[in-house]
Amino acid sequence: MIAIFLLITQTIDTLNKAIVASPSLPTQPALGKMTMLDIIMKGGIIMIPIAILSLIAIYVFIERYLTIRRHVSSDVDFMNKIHDYIVHGQTESALTLCQRTAKPIARMIEKGISRLGKPIKEIEESIEIAGKFEVYDLEKNVQILAVIAGIAPMFGFLGTIIGVIKIFYNISMTSDVSIGSVSAGLYTKMVSSASGLIVGIVAYIGFHWLNTILNKAVHQLEWTAMNFIDLLKSPAK
Give the tens place of pLDDT for each residue, 25-38: 343 334 456 565 65
Chain-centroid distance, C-alpha 62:
9
Instruction: Give the dihedral sign, CA 29/33/39/44.
Output: negative
Question: Residue 82 and residue 67: Cα distance in Å, rounded?
Answer: 24
Query: What are the CA-CA distances from residue 113 to residues 63, 85, 96, 106, 110 (Å)?
Result: 31, 11, 11, 10, 5
- Nearest residue to 95 via CA among 116, 76, 75: 116
**Tens digits of per-residue pLDDT, 21-74?**
444 434 333 445 656 565 666 666 788 899 999 999 999 999 999 988 888 776
Q: Confidence band (pLDDT; 50, 70, 90) for 157? A: confident
Q: Rounded to whole angstroms, what are the CA distances from 107 to 53, 129, 219? A: 34, 11, 16
Question: Looking at the whole model, is its pTM more than 0.95?
Answer: no
Which residues have a Cβ under 8 Å from the Cβ of 199 and sit 6 or more positions away? 50, 53, 54, 57, 148, 152, 153, 156
Q: How far apart are CA 198 and CA 188, in angstroms?
A: 16
In this prediction, residue 168 carries a pLDDT of 72
Q: Pick the more confident residue, 165 or 16.
A: 165
